[in-house]
Structure 1
Amino acid sequence: MASPTSAAANPKNPQGVLEYAVVPGAAAPDAKTPGCPPASEAPRTKVRRASLLAGFVIVLVLLALASLAVGSKHIDLSTVLDALLHPDGSADHAIIRDSRVPRAILGVLAGTALGIAGALVQSMTRNALAEPGILGVNAGASLAIVIAVGTFGVNGFGGYVWFAFGGAVLATGAVYLVGMAGARSSDPVRLVLAGVALGAVLSGIGTALALVHPAAFDQLRAWTIGSLEGRSADVLAPLALAVLAGVVLAAFTGRSLNALALGDDTALALGYKVGRARVLILLAVTVLAGAATAAVGAISFLGLMAPHLARRFSGPDARWMLAFTAVLAPIILLLADVLGRVLIPGELEAGVVCAFVGAPVLVMLARRRKPVAV
């Protein structure tokens, strides 16, 4: 959608030609309109972005295959393909199908969920440093794990993963209720402040309880690092359903994110219901981040870095940014998981490697001459 702006207020436009501001995702003005780019640029841009996105999808597939071959026991790629297409029950085929395939699927699902959740949080709050943990997701999940292990005696990942998801959901809901209490409209600043405050309280309570219960502290420490190793394949189906639901919700928020980026007043003037849009975004973040965090642990850096990297290729349109993030985030997570298997003897958790790999990338993006606005 384009709206004319005053030419008299612009000293660079003494002829009085009307200028237009274009909202991403809205109908583009006619190519003959003064001050507007040629209409042929939009199709070329879409083709370029689609080509880049397809290229990243190919990279993701190749990296997933590499994750099936690399590990404590290296397996030839031909054996990997035979295990996927013509399994014969051999030891190598069993390792690939029973251990590494679920692990690769988990990396793709969790990476996609954490990346999209981070992109939604950054766009909703218009804060380039925001990530899902800022809404209390990690703190709520960690407190629930401590309660499950220390109070109810739950042991093993398969037992406390459901507590972690419930804690993440309840914490995010509490953040929204506290942030919106007494407010006439949803305010991202209030949400961030409520999330930071409530997250600090929940983290303090969880740490105190964990110190009282040594077994809970050990479980919490293993979960907090963030890893794809040792996760049960039983969580794949629930995680896939949660990610599917969250992606569908995120897809419906694309145009709203474009409008919210211009400010609440402009979004209201364009006919968007800001409060309902933020509730829908927060619901998508809760489902995506809660499920992924419960499944793989607190890999918070991924939700911060992947959206920044995606904006280099997507431009200002939030819909393209979400699409690129959905592919780039699992690439980063799988790459960190593969590197963790080969960097040191044994295995280094993906959450640790993700920070080592992502920090230089984020520093490089921050030092660019033309930073991309959220």
Structure 2
Amino acid sequence: MSANTSNTSLTDSKTSVSLQRRPWAATFILIGGVAALVLGIAVSISLGAAEIDLRSVWEAVFFFNPSVTEHQIIQELRLPRVLGGAMVGACFAVSGAIMQGMTRNPLADSGLLGLNAGAGFVIAICFSFFPGLPYMYLILFSFLGAGLGAVLVYGVSSMAKGGLTPVRLVLAGAALSALLSALSEGIALYFQVGQDMAFWYAGGAAGIKWIHLKIMLPWIGAAILGAIALSRSITMLSLGDDIAKGLGQRTGLVKLAGTVIVLVLAGAAVSVVGAVGFVGLIIPHVTRKLVGVDYRLIIPCSAVLGSLLVVLADLAARTVNPPYETPVGAVVALIGVPFFLYLARKERRGL
């Protein structure tokens, strides 16, 4: 009787996933999102302290002339910045989607669970003790810092009476993020690298260069391809560990692979733009509402929408108060904080 009940439960779970898949919506998001992203990139490149028309942008990208000042501005400053912002947006969004799927925690996000603060803490140590460290090594230390933040948050929240709950996890993440950020600032002040660290605290894409993109691209490309390959297993995990095991998933191996992917994505993003939060919280929720609960659709759509959000946020950061720049993290937080409070209110029973 229990075997029949178990089989019925697995069948119902499969039916539930299939009924909540909306591939037509995913197709529309991928096509429309990519088109909007290309347009957003073009507009973002053209706007700035020196406004450049779209025709010059086209010529600078496809027919670069080093003797033209506008072409140099686009190729050396604006194009790597905008492309880097798109890559970072995809990183934060996909890492958030994986975390929410694996943990079934609607509040999971690399910024809220200590990954960003952990990466920033290790970067502060690198700036203080290893000045002039090549970017390749900096990004590796950023991965380690993200892992340190995750281990501390999960360890502290697991010690609470009653075990892990979504809200407890976020409270532990907030407390440890504040602690790691304070330690980072103290180290930066003591070793007089505060000016270098100010960029990481604020969060912004202004410092992105071609060398950063060349080093990031293999890591990010491999991690996103890995996330897509793992997406079916993450869908099963999002239904619960027992159901995933019943469907033949090796849950421990899937969680390990997913964790590595999240650390690579979050570490790479933080090493470039600093502590930009809430992208991984907002985008997966919006995507699930649009395409359903199948992570084979959620992950690629989250990558596109996350890229679009950061590109538009960076554009707003440069144009809201010219000639000064507003930190990208602050622009995203204007949307993210109310969204987080809404979700936290829904999860208040977990306290």
Report the TM-score range of the alignment, normalised by the length of the smaller protein.
Answer: 0.7 to 0.9
Q: Which residue of structure 2 lines up, in the alignment, with residue 344 of structure 1?
A: 321
Q: Which residue of structure 2 lines up, in the alignment, with residue 74 of structure 1?
A: 51
Percent of counterpart pairs with the same letter? 31
- In 2, distance between residues paired with 1:303 and 1:357? 12
- Correspondences of 1:179-190 after superposition (within 5 Å): none
- In 2, distance between residues paired with 1:189 and 1:267? 20
TM-score of the aligned structures, taking structure 1 as reference length: 0.78
- State the one-letter code of the partner of 1:64: I
- Correspondences of 1:312-327 after superposition (within 5 Å): 312-327=289-304
Change (3 A) 1:355 1:198: closer
- In 2, distance between residues paired with 1:303 and 1:220? 23
TM-fit CA distance, 1:218: 2.7
Contact 1:124 1:278 in 2 (8 A): yes
Gaps of 5+ in 1: 7-17, 29-36, 370-374
Contact 1:137 1:169 in 2 (8 A): no
- In 2, distance between residues paired with 1:310 and 1:19? 25
Q: Which residue of structure 2 lines up, in the alignment, with residue 102 of structure 1?
A: 80
For residues 249-286 of structure 1, what are the alpha-carbon distances to aligned partners after superposition, in whole Å with 9 as ceiling and x for unaligned? 21122111111111111111111111111001000001
- In 1, distance between residues paired with 2:341 and 2:112? 23
Contact 1:144 1:166 in 2 (8 A): yes
Higher helix share: 2
TM-fit CA distance, 1:193: 8.2
Contact 1:243 1:288 in 2 (8 A): yes
Contact 2:96 2:280 in 1 (8 A): yes
Matched, 1:354 2:332: yes
Q: Which residue of structure 1 lines up, in the alignment, with residue 247 of structure 2?
A: 270
Change (3 A) 1:281 1:20: closer
Q: Which residue of structure 2 lines up, in the alignment, with residue 248 of structure 1?
A: 225
- In 2, distance between residues paired with 1:198 and 1:358? 20
- In 1, distance between residues paired with 2:184 and 2:42? 38
- In 1, distance between residues paired with 2:289 and 2:153? 35
Q: Which residue of structure 2 lines up, in the alignment, with residue 225 of structure 1?
A: 202
- Correspondences of 1:109-258 after superposition (within 5 Å): 109-152=87-130, 154=131, 159=134, 162-163=137-138, 165-172=140-147, 175-176=150-151, 192=169, 196=173, 199=177, 202-213=180-191, 215-258=192-235
- In 2, distance between residues paired with 1:351 and 1:193? 19
After the TM superposition, which parts of structure 1 deviate over 4 Å for at least 4 consecutive aligned residues?
3-6, 158-161, 173-181, 187-195, 197-201, 357-360, 363-367
Contact 1:149 1:160 in 2 (8 A): no
Q: Which residue of structure 1 lines up, in the alignment, with residue 69 of structure 2?
A: 91
- In 2, distance between residues paired with 1:71 and 1:288? 29
TM-fit CA distance, 1:168: 3.4
Matched, 1:301 2:278: yes
CA RMSD for the aligned pairs?
3.6
Name which structure has the greater RCO, CA cutoff 8 Å, separation 6+. Answer: 2
TM-score of the aligned structures, taking structure 2 as reference length: 0.82
